Structure 1
């Protein structure tokens, strides 16, 4: 049984977290771009971003000029982070084994991993220029072997986001377009006169971008159905209340609808963390986001022991779960529902967002119950193949296929098995005007 020291503000419980007409607006934009192509894209870019260049796609010369403007230290840091992401993605790829097995004499079954032909990466601008998303979406796709990666990012207040473009280029994007919002996502998914379509979309975005990906899913693949960033901390009495408060607010700053949850075995710690948050928030530059997030979506629960803490944490299935306990690796065995796990005080969620190398595109809104986050395997199609080279084995399979298919009333399927049993083993064909004979 847990004690709730803080629950979401009841006054804000009924406040909608997105515009009620998001779905209708996105439907309208998709239909318009589907019909009018580039002209519609240009009009939406002018309306929403005040951006209407001769070409949205950057030329190699423009990219080189932009990258040259980025400070050397920023480039060095981008390259450091991208080495981290690439190394982890390459190890993920190496863990995926192709194989072929002979299950019966002459019956060969195999598995292959084939990269998709083209991926679209959306790198947000807006409130924050999330250049780290370029590493996570573009670089991971290239590590998987995707031959064509199209990347889009919006201008920010009419200006080119130099560092973001540099990150996209260094990550290996084959095309870079200064194009944002729904119009960017729809252009990549459907294609226009100036952009060939892709097979999969990846990357975070605002409510409109997320809704566009949802509506386009099926025509193209997507990485995840995205929601607000989430953080959940499991802590015992050994945790530092100041560090815990800082880490909760580090994720709350993503947006006013970002949940920040603490589950602890120590009532004293829980109360100290609330006090520390109250001290930190007034001076926090991003308090306009972090403040409402903590007020409306912040929670602190006190539980009897860590087993109860892990059990409660699993019910949230949080995007980011941080373990601040004396033995943090215990959570690897005790927990099952999380997007990513951050073990110990030396490992903050912000490392995962920005620098450590694991992917920061993660499941939200409880989706961690059934899926993990974006990874190199998402850009691969795991396909199978079959070959039967032994006639006796084919005849045996044909006999079983005939019986199994007729139980399901699939006569046509049954006959495909029958003809092989007849041709390779002389089985009768009572349904045929003449028996099939061996050639």
Structure 2
């Protein structure tokens, strides 16, 4: 039986019941019709930003790099090397192959990079350097030829470190442009911003809605909502560590859920006490505290099997396992964006440093998809070649029968023709140049 010592006090706002979709559709339509003129209008309206050009020149980027500390640059390089190493390992796991299904029938698979990708790097509250690593760098490892990066100014100022991260990640063009106007411009193309085939990257409710509305016209990585964290803990877990790690994710946004599922009521109670003690001294307490108050939950269950079962029902973005045998979760759990195993591994490592991708599914999307990875920037395509006449004739016979079972006469005739050419089969519609849809002789 599950006992909740704390449950959510509010419901996440559904976009369909807000004005977000209407506002976003209007911005997209305006940019589609008026291009750069509309982009500039919305940048001025939403970000108070209207430079001579949203595209940063090489000279501007070089100047920006001089304003970033050597230590920050060093850290960017180190984190990006971690991301590159893991993404490269993922790429090596995706193999092209060709098999001979039967004598003379060859089928194959190739992984081809998307040609052009737009990477959205958010920056409304914080300069999110890590999102540049996760989107731009991963796309480049996949082999994408052209990657456009867009990021907004923060309070009317250039986010120097974010630009540095985008540059070092390999962005081919960097635009200081944010919000729906950036996503729409990359998706539909304007006079100065080229259209892309795919857009990746997190963002606020407006950015997420823009991606949703444009999906189909362009590809997207996934639909992402507020950051989520769930911790599974047994009686050996440290409540202070749990409290610290829950708050580390709650500070992402005022609507970021943070959940503890534990087999120990003592651990649960002490964790809540520590959260109350830690919040007053946390710089982001206004965000983390609000998120914890409205969307924090603490559940006590009878055993770890029940804990894993309940965690799977949540299907959260980040799931941290603080138990005596954390790797047990790899066998017991199915639904999560990413697992963080043991006290030595915190979710913040995944967000900022360790090398796995932090663009992950939220709002139960983990039940049907994983997060952003090198494979998202690849198109897995197939090819076929039949080199043996007898094999083509036999497939023609099979195709003719299978197609006629579905009343697809045109498909059947393509098969008939091969059976006629390579096996001597006779069909009335082929014989003497006739084209009447008659039955096989």
TM-score by length of 2: 0.97
Match 1:72 to one of 53, 70, 73: 70
List runs of 5+ in structure 2 lacking aligned partners: 435-441
Residue 244 (str. 1) matches residue 265 (str. 2): no
How many angstroms does 1:13 deviate by?
3.7
SS of residue in 1 equivalent to 2:320: strand
1:310-368 CA distances to partner (integer Å, 9 max, x unpaired)? 11100111100000000000101111100000000000000000000000000000000
Residue 99 (str. 1) matches residue 97 (str. 2): yes
Match 1:348 to one of 346, 358, 370: 346
The residue aligned with 1:215 is: 213
The residue aligned with 2:333 is: 335
Which has the larger displacement, 235-244 or 421-430?
421-430
Which has the larger displacement, 403-412 or 280-289?
280-289
1:57-100 CA distances to partner (integer Å, 9 max, x unpaired)? 00111101101110000000000000000000000000001100
The residue aligned with 2:437 is: none
Residue 298 (str. 1) matches residue 296 (str. 2): yes
Report if aligned partners of 1:17, 1:257 keep a CA contact under 8 Å in 2.
no
Q: Where in structure 2 are the equivalents of 1:54-93 lying within 5 Å?
A: 54-93=52-91
Distance 1:99 1:16 in 2: 44
Q: Where in structure 2 are the equivalents of 1:350-365 lying within 5 Å?
A: 350-365=348-363
Report if aligned partners of 1:428, 1:435 keep a CA contact under 8 Å in 2.
no
How many angstroms does 1:14 deviate by?
7.8
The residue aligned with 1:409 is: 407
Distance 1:192 1:14 in 2: 35
The root-mean-square deviation of aligned C-alpha atoms, in Å, is 1.3
Aligned length: 434
The structure 1 segments of at least 4 consecutive aligned residues displaced by more than 6 Å after TM superposition are 14-19
Change (3 A) 1:346 1:89: same
How many angstroms does 1:433 deviate by?
4.7
Change (3 A) 1:150 1:354: same
The residue aligned with 1:33 is: 31
Report if aligned partners of 2:15, 2:21 keep a CA contact under 8 Å in 1.
no
Q: Where in structure 2 are the equivalents of 1:33-182 lying within 5 Å?
A: 33-182=31-180
Residue 195 (str. 1) matches residue 171 (str. 2): no
1:188-208 CA distances to partner (integer Å, 9 max, x unpaired)? 111100011000000111111
How many angstroms does 1:131 deviate by?
1.1
SS of residue in 2 equivalent to 1:321: strand
How many angstroms does 1:49 deviate by?
1.1
TM-score by length of 1: 0.97
SS of residue in 2 equivalent to 1:342: strand
How many angstroms does 1:432 deviate by?
3.5
How many angstroms does 1:19 deviate by?
7.9
Distance 1:407 1:323 in 2: 53
Match 1:183 to one of 181, 206, 217: 181
Distance 2:155 2:90 in 1: 38
Distance 1:317 1:16 in 2: 18
Change (3 A) 1:15 1:318: closer
Distance 2:97 2:22 in 1: 47
